[in-house]
Amino acid sequence: MELIKKVARDLLESKYAIAFTGAGISTESGIPDFRGPFGIWKRDPEAERRAYKVYTKFLKDPREYWIEVQKSTIYPIIDKALPNSAHRALSELEELGKIMCIITQNIDGLHHKAGSKNVIEFHGSVSKLRCICCGSRFDKKEFINLIESGRVPKCKICENFLKLDVVHFNEPIPPDIYIRSFNEVMRCDLMLVCGTSAVVYPAAELPRIAKRYGAKVIEINLEETTLTFEGVSDYIIKGRVGEILPKIAEEVKRSKKE
């Protein structure tokens, strides 16, 4: 409880706090995690090897890529998932003016569904398509009939083939996302790291950059991570984000009234 009060106080004293979220915040919405001890890749290493080839497949043969996307069992689970108490608490903290931006590594759009406004999806979103040539993004819904009929969607601006907005392995982070994230990280004086062990690069650089440029870094995770061991985080609150974030939001609300 002491730590909840401490993080609430730190948030209230901050001028520009942001959140950095990862898989741990979405597992509580039933979205399986890839790298965790019970993750998809622990159970099916072949799936991990396939995942590393998806982007090259798109570059070589967009039709094959879309056939593979259509066969995926994970995207339908993500499409149906609903935000949980952790997403809602972050949205509430934004409304209270205490979280200015969320940078998420998740592709599920659950922060948007929970009502958060300033969200940067570092690894893209399953609900959008993106042109790797001109960078335009489109709502997947617009193309769903075309995709289901076996055709490859094309960019409405430059007519190049579209892929999912999701950033696959070996695919560069889109420049607009990179620059926006970097600006937020340089601007923040507090970063709340929620449900991520920060091992996937370049996203994992963000808390390290925040720390290097003077921000306080606070972790909320089930276990200690490399951020804890490297001394990147100032302190860690161990536990489920779905339990801890709502308590923090409550405490911030209570203290604001005093």
CB of 175 to Zn ion, least distance (A): 14
Peptide bond preceding 246 in cis form (omega within 30 of 0)? no
Cβ contacts of 102 within 8 Å, gap of 6 or more? 18, 19, 20, 21, 90, 94, 111, 116, 118, 119, 120
Nearer to Zn ion (CB atom), residue 134 or residue 199: 134
Q: Which residues are catalytic?
A: 123
Q: How many residues does the chain have?
A: 258
The binding site for Zn ion (CB under 5 A) comprises 131, 133-134, 136, 155, 157-158
- How far apart are alpha carbons 161 and 138 in whole angstroms? 12
CB of 152 to Zn ion, least distance (A): 13
- How far apart are alpha carbons 116 and 25 in whole angstroms? 14
CB of 160 to Zn ion, least distance (A): 5
Nearer to Zn ion (CB atom), residue 159 or residue 224: 159
CB of 153 to Zn ion, least distance (A): 11
- How far apart are alpha carbons 114 and 130 in whole angstroms? 23
CB of 183 to Zn ion, least distance (A): 24
232 alpha-carbon distance from chain centroid: 19
Which run of H or E residues covers position 144? Answer: helix 144-148
Q: How far is CA 137 from CA 131, 148, 162, 167, in A?
A: 7, 19, 9, 13
E strand spans, 85-187: 101-104, 119-121, 128-131, 137-139, 162-164
